[in-house]
Amino acid sequence: MAESPSTPAPRATANRSTTPGSDAFKDYISSGWAERPVSLPAPRESAAFAAARRLRISAQHPGERLVIPAGPAKVRSNDTDYPYRAHSAFSHLTGWGADAVPGSVLVLEPGAEGHEATLYFREAAGRHSDEFYANPEVGEFWTGPRPSLEHVAADLGLATRPLGELAAVLDATDASTRIVREADRELTDRVDGRRLMAAEIPGDIEQEVDAELLRDLSELRLVKDEYEIAQLRQAVDATRLGFDDVIAELPRITAHRRGERLVEGTFDRRARAEGNTVGYDTIAASGPHACILHWTRNDGPVVAGDLILIDAGVELDSLYTADITRTLPVDGSFSPVQRRVYEAVLEAADAALAIVRPGIRFREIHQTAMGVIAARTAEWGLLPVSAEESLEPERQYHRRYMVHGTSHHLGLDVHDCAQARRELYLDGVVEAGMVFTIEPGLYFQPDDLTVPEELRGIGVRIEDDILVTESGAVSLSAGIPRTVDEVEDWMAGR
C-alpha cells in the first residue's frame, strides 16, 4: 500500500510522507488535465421511493429539525478503513447505496409545510486544490473521483450543499433538533452541546428524543415498498447463484484442510460479482460446527458424510440483502439420521409458512414452528415431559435444541427494523409488504448427553425469505432447493 502524503488530512501521516511540496510540483500536477464531460443523470429508480419515505417521517416530526448522518468511514487498522457502508436510515431516506460519499448528512429542516430536505456532502475538489493528489482519505488519486453537487442532486432528486456549510446548520441547533446518534459520534457530540446550551435540558432527555427518531425510522421500514421488494427478490436470486457456486466447487472444498474457508470465499466472490458484498459474515459450518449458531470462523474441514450448514446472503449495491440458509449433505446424500432431523426442521418451516397472512401476530410464526420442534423432540424421547407440557412458558425444554427465534425482518439490514417497538415487531400484526425470514433449526451439540450418540454433532437450519401478500405469503427463495429430494438432486447435478 502506498505511503500517504504530507498535505493535512483527517488522519496525521506527515511523519512518513514523501509527497513533493514545492510550488513547481504543485503547479505541474494541477495542470495538463483534459476537461471532463458534464452530463447529469436521470433520477435513479430509488429516488421517488426515498422521497415518499421522507414525507412519512416528516409527518411524524412536525416542527423538528432531523439530522440523519451517513456516518464516517470506520478504521480497521491505523490508516486503513473497513469497506464503507452508510447508515441504513440514511440510505433509506436518500436512496444512496454503495456509492454514498462517507461523512454525508441528510438534514430535514422544518418549514410551514413539512420539511425541506438537503443533502450535505464533500463534493469533488478541483485540480487547483492539492486535495486530489495529497489527501489519502478523500483525495481522488487515492479513493477515486467524487461526484459534483449537481450530479448528486439530479441522481437522487435532492437539494445538495457542500459539507462545509453544515456547520452553520449545526450552529442553529436547538431543543427541537433530533439526530440519529449512533451514525456519527462526533456530529452527535456537536449537536448535544448546542442543544444543551439552547434548552438547558439533561442529556438523558436528548438521548430519549433521539431514540424516538431512530425507532420511527426503524418502524418506517417494517412494510416494504415496491422498490424494496424488487431489490430483495434480486438479492435472493443472486444468493442462489452463490449456493450453486459452492456446490460446484465441493471437490476442491473437501480436498482442502480448511474447506469452510473455501465455501466462504466462493460465496463471497459471487456476492462481489453480483452485488456490493455479503449482507453479513457468511456462516460455513461443517459437521459439529453447525451447532454453533453464529460460526463465522470458518476454519474447519468439510468432510464427506457430514452436513454443512451455509447461512449466507448477497447484499446488492442498493444495500438490500438476502438471508438464506441451506444444510447440505457433503457427499450428496442424507444418512437416515440426518434425513430424520432435516425433515423435522423442514416440517417446522413449512408449518410456520402455512399460517402467514395479514392479520396474524408476528410471534405466532415462532410459536407454530416450536410446536413442531417440541412434538418431534418429544417423539424421539429427548424431553423429560410431553410436547404439550414442554410448550408451557415455564418449561420450554425443547428450546435446548433450538435457542434462537424463528423469524426476523429483512431489508437494508439483515436483522432489519431492530429498533422497532415490541408491540409493532414481536407482538405486531403482520401486514402485506412485510419481508421476514422463517428459519427453524435443530442443533444437537457433540457433548450433549441428553441425546443419543447418533444425533450428537448434527446441526440443521433451513431459512427462507418470506413476502407477505394481500392474501397470504410467498417464499422469495422457493427456487433454492430445500426438500430432501430437491437437495440431493441439486448436489448430484453439480
* pLDDT on residue 183: 97
CA 453 to chain centre: 38
The domains spanning 41-218 and 226-492 adopt the same CATH topology: no
* pLDDT on residue 12: 54
What are the pLDDT digits (tens) for 419-458? 999 999 999 999 999 999 999 999 999 999 999 999 999 9
Q: Does domain 226-492 have CATH number 3.30.70.600?
A: no
Residue 129 has pLDDT above 90, yes or no: no
Residue 225 has pLDDT above 70, yes or no: yes
Domain ranges across the chain: 41-218, 226-492
What are the pLDDT digits (tens) for 149-195? 999 999 999 999 999 999 999 998 888 899 999 999 999 999 998 88
CA 60 to chain centre: 25
Binning pLDDT at 50, 70 and 90, where does residue 138 land?
confident
* pLDDT on residue 132: 87
Interval 267-294 mean pLDDT: 98
0.85 exceeded by the pTM?
A: yes
* pLDDT on residue 4: 38
CATH superfamily of 41-218: Creatinase/prolidase N-terminal domain (3.40.350.10)
What are the pLDDT digits (tens) for 336-382? 999 999 999 999 999 999 999 999 999 999 999 999 999 999 999 99
78-115 in b/e form (b: 16+ CB < 10 A) is: ebebeebbbbbbbbbbbbbbbebbbbbbbbbbbeeeeb
* pLDDT on residue 135: 85
Pairing of the two strands 65-69 and 177-179: parallel
Q: What average pLDDT does the chain have?
A: 94
